[in-house]
Amino acid sequence: MELTSASALIIAAITLGIIEGVKPGPLMAVVISETMIHNWKSGLKVALVPLITDGPVILLSVILYELLTINVIAQAIIGFLGSIILIWLGIDCFKKSKIKFDDTPKISHSLKKGIITNLTNPNMYLYWGLIGAPFLLDAYSTNKTYPFLFIGGFFAAFILLKMIIAILVDRSKNFLNTNGYKRLLQFSGIALFAFSGMFFIDALSILEVI
The domain locations on the chain are 6-208
DSSP 58-69: HHHHHHHHHHHT
Task: Supply the pLDDT for residue 210.
Answer: 57
Q: 10 Å Cβ neighbour count for 96?
A: 21
Task: Supply the pLDDT for residue 6.
Answer: 81
b (16+ CB within 10 A) / e for 70-94? eeeeebbbbbbbbbebbbebbebbb
- Contacts of 139-148 spanning 24+ positions with Cβ under 8 A: 139/3, 139/9, 142/3, 142/4, 142/9, 143/6, 146/3, 146/6, 146/9
pLDDT by residue for the chain (210 residues), tens only, comes to 555 578 888 898 999 999 888 887 778 877 887 787 778 888 888 889 899 999 999 999 999 888 887 777 777 888 888 888 888 888 888 887 777 766 555 545 456 767 887 787 777 888 898 889 988 988 888 888 899 999 999 999 999 999 898 888 888 767 777 788 888 788 888 888 888 888 888 778 877 755
Task: Supply the pLDDT for residue 151.
Answer: 94
Task: Supply the pLDDT for residue 103.
Answer: 53
- Entry pTM: 0.79
Task: Supply the pLDDT for residue 1.
Answer: 54
Which of 195, 21, 185 shows the shortest CA–CA distance to 96?
Answer: 185
